[in-house]
């Protein structure tokens, strides 16, 4: 009888380490989806996620021939929980708004359609690199730091309406660039 009445195969620690090495990009990409401009937080959350998964490893069971897909989904569920906890605590500290329902939808989409999502993420990252440094900074302040148009304007010596207009132009530019990039990749 399996330990704790659980069925399925277990994953030994050595296989766990190999599995996360093979799938780190996918797990990191999942976390980065919700924190696209905060590399430090992504690094911290990936470590926290792996530590939690390591501690819960005796509870993990898989049914297939190989544990890869089931284990990645399990680790992503842990990453999702840890990332939402981080965002909730950051919201309290920064008084920044984030739409948890929207993030849940993004996380669900990302988890279910990894290949397509990875292509979109590559396109987005490539298009952001093509922006002028000032535009990249405005994007980072707005979406990475959660600053308002007014806060960004104060920091950059611009009116909030000017910041809003620039962000609108940047978004349109990114949409066009991402669409073109995805089309060239066959998506």
Domain 113-187 has CATH 1.10.12.10: no
Per residue in 63-120, pLDDT (tens digit) is: 877 788 888 889 988 998 899 888 888 764 444 455 666 666 666 666 666 677 778 8
Per residue in 5-27, pLDDT (tens digit) is: 445 678 888 989 999 998 888 88
Q: How confident is the model at residue 177 (pLDDT cuts 50, 70, 90)?
A: very high
What contacts 15, CB < 8 A, 6 or more positions away? 67
Per residue in 131-160, pLDDT (tens digit) is: 999 999 998 888 777 788 999 999 999 999
Q: How far is CA 5 from CA 1, 13, 64, 133, in A?
A: 7, 21, 18, 57
Fold type of domain 1-112: Rna Polymerase Sigma Factor; Chain: A (1.10.1740)
**Extents of the domains making up the chain:** 1-112, 113-187
Burial class (CB in 10 A: 0-12, 13-18, 19+), 186: exposed
């Amino acid at each position: 009888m399996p330990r704790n009445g659980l069925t399925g195969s277990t994953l030994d620690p050595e296989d766990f380490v190999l599995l996360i090495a093979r799938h780190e990009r996918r797990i990191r990409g999942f976390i980065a989806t919700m924190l696209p401009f905060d590399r430090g937080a992504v690094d911290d959350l990936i470590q926290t996620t792996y530590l939690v998964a390591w501690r819960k490893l005796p509870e993990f069971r898989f049914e297939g021939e190989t544990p890869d897909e089931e284990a990645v989904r399990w680790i992503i569920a842990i990453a999702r929980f840890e990332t939402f906890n981080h965002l909730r605590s950051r919201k309290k500290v920064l008084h920044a708004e984030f739409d948890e329902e929207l993030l849940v939808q993004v996380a669900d989409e990302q988890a279910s359609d990894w290949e397509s999502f990875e292509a979109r993420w590559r396109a987005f990252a490539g298009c952001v690199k093509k922006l002028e440094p000032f535009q990249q900074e405005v994007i980072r302040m707005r979406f990475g730091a959660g600053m308002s148009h007014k806060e960004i304007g104060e920091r950059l010596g611009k009116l909030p309406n000017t910041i809003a207009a620039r962000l609108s132009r940047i978004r349109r530019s990114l949409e066009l660039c991402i669409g073109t990039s995805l089309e060239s990749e066959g998506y």
